[in-house]
Structure 1
Amino acid sequence: MEKPYVQVGTHPIEQGHYLIPTKEVLRLMESIFKIVNNRLPGMIVYGRPRLGKTSAVKFAIENLPTQVGAPLPILIANSNSYRVPSEEKFFYDLLSDFRFPFPAKRKPAEMRRQIANLMLEKAERSKVRRIILIMDEAHRLTEFHYNWLMDIYNELDREKVSMSVISVGQEELLSRRTFFLEHKKSQIIGRFMTHEHQFCGLRTLDEIRMVLKCYDSPEISTYPKDSGWSYTRYFFPEGYERGERLEKEAKQLYNLFVEIRKEHGVSSEFEIPMEYFAFTIENALKVYGAHGDQSDWITINQWKESIRLTGYIESEIYMALAHKGVN
C-alpha cells in the first residue's frame, strides 16, 4: 500500500492532538461511568501535574454515551484563578466556556439563570434528564464557587434534572476537601466530593508496553483516517516493514527512565506522567522519523535524547524539592 501524503506539521503526532486509551484512562472511565450510571452528584479526580488528567477525562466523556447507551450532554469549564472571586466572573467564565451565543455581562442572577436554562435545554433534548459538568483545574475552586454551583444544582433539581459535577485538579483538591470537613461544610462534600479517583502516571513495564502498542495499532492510531497507516508505520515505514514496533521498545524505554532517574538522584516512587511519556514518543517520531532525520528506526541514543528534550527529569527534581519544602 502506497504511503499517504501528509503535509509536514499537520500530522496528529506533530500537533499533539490525539488521545491514547491507557490503562489509567480506562480505569477513570469505569469510575466516571459509576457516577453517571448511579446518578451521583459529584466526584473529584486528582493527581500530580502533567499526568494527562484533562486529556483522559476528555477521552472518557467522549466514550461515555456509548457506555450509557444514550446521548449524554457534557459541558467542560476551566476554573480560572482570581484574587477576589465573584459570582459575576464565575458565571461569565462558565458561559464563555460553554460557547454561549451571547455571554454579555449581566447581573449574576441573570447569568445563573442562563446557565441553568442552557443545561435544562440540553438535558431535556437528550431525553435522559442528565447533565455532566467537568470543572478543570478544580483545585482553584473555593467555598464560594461550590456554593454557586450548588445554586445551579438546586435549580436543575427543581426541574427534575440531575447534574453530576466532576472536579479535575491537582492533589490540593484533597486538602480542599479536608478543609471543608474541618469547617463542617457537609453540603459541599455531599454534593461534589463524596467520591474520589486518584489519577496516576505510568508505573509498570506492562503499562508502558500497552501505550506503545497503541501507536503501532492501525485500529487505534491511524492517520489519515481509514488509510491503515498507524503513527509508527507512517514515521518509520522501513522499520515497520521489517517488523519493528514501538511495543518492542518497552523494556528498553522503561530501563532508560529508571537509569536517568538514578543518574540525577531521583528516589521518589517510579512514575512517568503520561504527558512526558507522550512527548518522548512524539520527539522520537518527529525528530528522527519521516519528517525529520528519516532514520529507518530509533537508536538507544535517540531515545535518550527524546527523553531529555521533554524536561521530564527537571520536573522530577523540582517536584522532589517542592515536596521536601512542604514536609
Structure 2
Amino acid sequence: MERPNIIVGTHPIEMGHYLMPTKEVLRLMEGIFKIVNNRIPGMIVYGRPRLGKSSAVKFAIDYLPNQLGVSLPLLIVNTKFYKSPTEIKFYSDMLADFKFPFSNKRDPSELRRQIVSFMLEKAEKSTQRRIILVMDEAHRLTEHHYNWLMDIYNDLDKERISLSVISVGQEELLNRRTFFLKEKKAQIIGRFMTHEHRFCGLRSLDDIRFVLKCYDSAEISPYPTDSDWSYSRYFFTEAYDKGTRLEHDAKVLYELFSEVRKEHGVSAEFEIPMEYFAFTVENAMKIYGAHGDRCDWISRNQWKQALKLSGYIESEIYMALANEGADS
C-alpha cells in the first residue's frame, strides 16, 4: 500500500493531539464503568501532576458506550482558582465550560437553574436519564464548591436524573477527603467521594511495552483514520515493513529512564508520567523519522536525546524539591 501523503506538521504525533491507552487507563476504565453502571454519584481520581489523568478519564468515558451499550452525555469543568470563591463565579465558569450561550444573569439561583436545565436536556436525550460531570483540577474545590454541586445534584435528583461526578486532581484531593472525614462532612463524602482511584504513571517494563505496542498498532493508532498506517509505520516505513517495532525498544527505554534518574539522583519510586513518555516518543519520531533526519530506525543514543528533550528529568528534580519544601 502506498504511503499516505500527509502535510508536514499535521500528523497527530507532530501536533500532539491524540490519546494513547495505558494499562493504568484500562484499570481506570473498569473503575469508571462500575461507578456509572451502578449509578454511584461520585468518585475521586488523584495522582501527581502530568500523569495524564484528565486525558485518561476522557479516553475512558469515550469508550463507555461500548461497555454500556448506550451513549451518555459528558460535561467537563476546569475548576478555576479564586481567593474568594462565590456561587456566581462557580456557576458562571461551569456555563462557560459547557459553551452555554452568553448569560447576563447575576443571581446564583438563576444561574443554577440554567445549569440544571442544560443538564436535564442532555440527560433526557440520552434515554438513560444519566449524566457524567468531570471536575478537572478538583483539588481546588472547597467545601463551598461541593455544597453548590450538591444543590445541582439534588435538583437533578428531583427530576429523576442520575448525576455521577468524577473529581480529577492532584494528591491534595485525597487530603481534602481526609479533612472532610475529620470534619464529619458525611453529605459531601457520601455524594462525591465514596470511591477513589489513585492514578499512576508507567511503573514497569511491561507498562512501557504496552504503550509502545499501541503506537505500533493500526487498530489503536491509525492515521489517516481507517487506514493500515500506525504512527510508527508512517514515520519509519521501511523498518516497520521489515518487522521492526517500537515495542521491541521497550527495554532500551526502561533502562534509559532508569539511568537518567540515577545520574541526577532521583530516588523517588520509578513512575514515568505519560506526558513525558509521550514527549520522548514524539521527539524520536519527529527528529529521526520521515519528516526529520529519515533514519532507518532509532538508536539507543537517539532515544536518550529524545528523552532529555522531553523535560522529564527537570520535572523530577523540581518535584523532589517541591516535596522537600513541603516536608520541611
Shorter-chain-normalised TM-score: which range?
over 0.9
Note if 1:161 corresponds to 2:161.
Answer: yes
Superposed displacement of residue 227, structure 1:
2.5
2:112 corresponds in structure 1 to: 112
Letter in 2 for 1:72: L
Corresponding letter in the other structure for 1:13: I
Distance in 2, Cα, partners of 1:110 & 1:104 = 10
Secondary structure (helix, strand or coil) at the match of 2:33 reads helix
1-structure distance, mates of 2:273, 2:14: 19
Give yes or no for contact 1:47–1:169 (8 Å, CA) kept in 2. Answer: yes
- Correspondence for 1:323: 323
Residues of 1 paired with 2:217 and 2:164: CA distance? 34
- Partner deviation per Cα, 1:98-138 (whole Å, 9 max, x = no partner): 11123334311111000001111111111111111000000
Deviations 1:270-300 (CA, angstroms, capped at 9, x unpaired)? 1101111011000000111111111111011
Once superposed, what is the RMSD of the aligned Cα atoms?
A: 0.9
CA separation of 1:93 and 1:308: change in aligned 2, threshold 3 A: same
Distance in 2 (CA, whole Å) between partners of 1:80 and 1:266 is 32
> Who is 2:140 aligned against?
140
**Cα offset, 1:236, TM superposition:** 0.9
Q: How much does 1:81 deviate?
A: 0.6
Runs of at least 5 residues in structure 1 that lack an aligned partner in the other structure: none
1:260 is the counterpart of 2:260: yes
Q: Deviations over 1:225-244 (max 9, x none)?
A: 12211100111112212221
Say yes or no: does 1:35 pair with 2:50. Answer: no
Which residue is 2:72 aligned to? 72
TM-score, with length taken from structure 1:
0.98
Q: What residue identity is the alignment partner of 2:142?
A: T
- Counting only pairs closer than 5 Å after superposition, residues 1-327 of structure 1 correspond to structure 2 as 1-327=1-327
Q: Secondary structure at the match of 1:305?
A: helix
What residue identity is the alignment partner of 2:275? E
Distance 2:207 2:45 in 1: 20
Classify the secondary structure of the residue corresponding to 2:63: helix
Q: Which amino acid aligns with 1:129?
A: R
For 1:170, give the aligned amino acid. Q
Query: Whole-Å Cα distance in 2 between the matches of residues 103 and 207 of structure 1?
Result: 46
Q: In structure 2, what is the Cα distance between the partners aligned to 1:49 and 1:269?
A: 15
CA contact (8 A) 1:51 1:274 kept: yes
Q: CA deviation at 1:93?
A: 0.6
Distance 1:73 1:103 in 2: 22
Q: Secondary structure at the match of 1:77?
A: strand
Query: Within 2, Cα distance between the matches of 1:129 and 1:47?
Result: 31
Q: CA offsets per residue over residues 20-59 of structure 1, 9 Å max, x none?
A: 1110000000000010011111000000000000110110
Task: Count how many residue pairs are aligned between Structure 1 and Structure 2.
Answer: 327
Distance apart, 1:67 and its partner CA = 1.0
| CA displacement 1:203-257 (0-9 Å, x = unmatched) | 0101100100011111111111122111001111122122211000000110010
Q: Report percent identity of matched pairs.
A: 73
C-alpha distance in structure 2 between counterparts of 1:259 and 1:181, whole Å: 42
Q: Distance in 2 between matches of 1:35 and 1:301?
A: 45
Distance in 2, matches of 1:261 and 1:277, equals 14
- CA–CA separation in structure 2 for the residues paired with 1:238 and 1:63: 33
Q: Which amino acid aligns with 1:281?
A: V
Q: Distance in 1 between matches of 2:206 and 2:113?
A: 49
